[in-house]
Amino acid sequence: MKLSWIIAAAAAAAVTSSSLAATIVSIGRVSGYHENRMPGSQGTIGGGEFTVTGSGAGLRGLGSDINSNSFQSFCLELDQFLSSGTNDYAVQIDTTVRSGSPGVDFVSQGTAWLYERFRSGALAANGYDYTVGSDRASSASSLQLAIWFLQGQFDDPANWGTSPRPGRNELLWAEFDGPNSDARNFVAAAQAAVADAFAPYAGGRVRVLNVGPTPDGGNWSNQDLLTLIPLPTGGGLAAAGLLGLVALRRRRA
């Protein structure tokens, strides 16, 4: 991993006080906000939008959200799942994914940029349709595909060598590289907006919502989602800035 990526990930950890205590929320999907199955996905549920209801899991009631007690989210992994229907899970906010499939274990800059714009409603300027129904469901599938790509969950098969998931990798790449121009457009917008769309994100409001099957989270083996927190405090920003200064001095040494 690049030194700059390691430093950025460390800065993200410094901004958030280790992790919030586990809390219980309900997670499911609502008709008109998702498609039934993502190309190449496994399990009963495909991709987002997911609806997370309850307090303690991040900011609620923003531009993308159904009501003031819930928020909309997307998943980060291909090999972790949620049960069908709406169910209660233990969740904990963190800066990294605690378990799961090959790919990065942090939120990428591109993913964070897309998700923050999605939550505010600003992603409409990049083609996301917020009108509840089939058009929003189609946009949700495209954004989910873009997030999986930016998280390293699939890629051009030519770049994989021996793929750890050949069937899904090829199916997802065929969708991304073929008919799903909206997913490609989301990725292109993120790449144009941030310094490195695949590098670790640090210092802002986007976090991982680790999901587990038991009240204490167990081994956090369920699907992991995205969430937003309030803006970091001045102390957290100062800590991130200090890490950046240390990195700069190391490069100059």
pLDDT of residue 108: 96
Q: Is the dihedral of CA 162, 156, 37, 193 positive or negative?
A: positive
pLDDT of residue 19: 45
The CA distance from 176 to 141, in Å, is 11
Give the CA angle between residues 12, 16, 20 to the nearest 5°. 135
pLDDT of residue 196: 97
Question: Which parts of the chain have pLDDT scores under 70?
Answer: 1-21, 37-46, 98-104, 160-167, 214-222, 232-253
Number of structural domains in the chain: 1
Whole-prediction pTM value? 0.80
Give the CA angle between residues 218, 221, 227 to the nearest 5°. 100
Instruction: Kindly state whether residue 241 falls inside one of the protein's structural domains.
Output: no
The CA distance from 95 to 103, in Å, is 15
Q: Omega of the bond prior to 49 within 30 degrees of 0, cis? A: yes
**In 38-129, at which residue ranges do the beta strands (DSSP E only) sit?**
50-53, 70-73, 87-94
Instruction: Kindly state whether residue 71 falls inside one of the protein's structural domains.
Output: yes
Instruction: Kindly state whether residue 162 falls inside one of the protein's structural domains.
Output: yes
pLDDT digits (tens, 9 = 90+) for 4-60: 454 444 444 444 444 446 889 999 999 999 987 655 554 444 688 999 999 999 999
pLDDT of residue 171: 81
**Which burial class, exposed, middle or buried, applies to 192 when counting CB atoms under 10 A from its CB (0-12, 13-18, 19+)?**
exposed
Query: What single DSSP character describes residue 215?
Result: T
Instruction: Kindly state whether residue 240 falls inside one of the protein's structural domains.
Output: no
Q: How far is CA 120 from CA 3, 107, 169, 184, 229, in A?
A: 32, 18, 31, 21, 13
pLDDT of residue 154: 85
Q: Which helix (H) or strand (E) holds 189?
A: helix 181-193
pLDDT of residue 13: 44
Question: Tokens at residue 229, please?
Answer: 């927190």
Q: Which helix (H) or strand (E) holds 228?
A: strand 225-228
pLDDT of residue 21: 63
pLDDT of residue 143: 97
- What is the three-class DSSP state of 186? helix
pLDDT of residue 18: 40
pLDDT of residue 61: 98
Instruction: Kindly state whether residue 61 falls inside one of the protein's structural domains.
Output: yes
Structural domain including 106 reads: 17-231
The CA distance from 67 to 158, in Å, is 43
Instruction: Kindly state whether residue 198 falls inside one of the protein's structural domains.
Output: yes
Instruction: Kindly state whether residue 10 falls inside one of the protein's structural domains.
Output: no
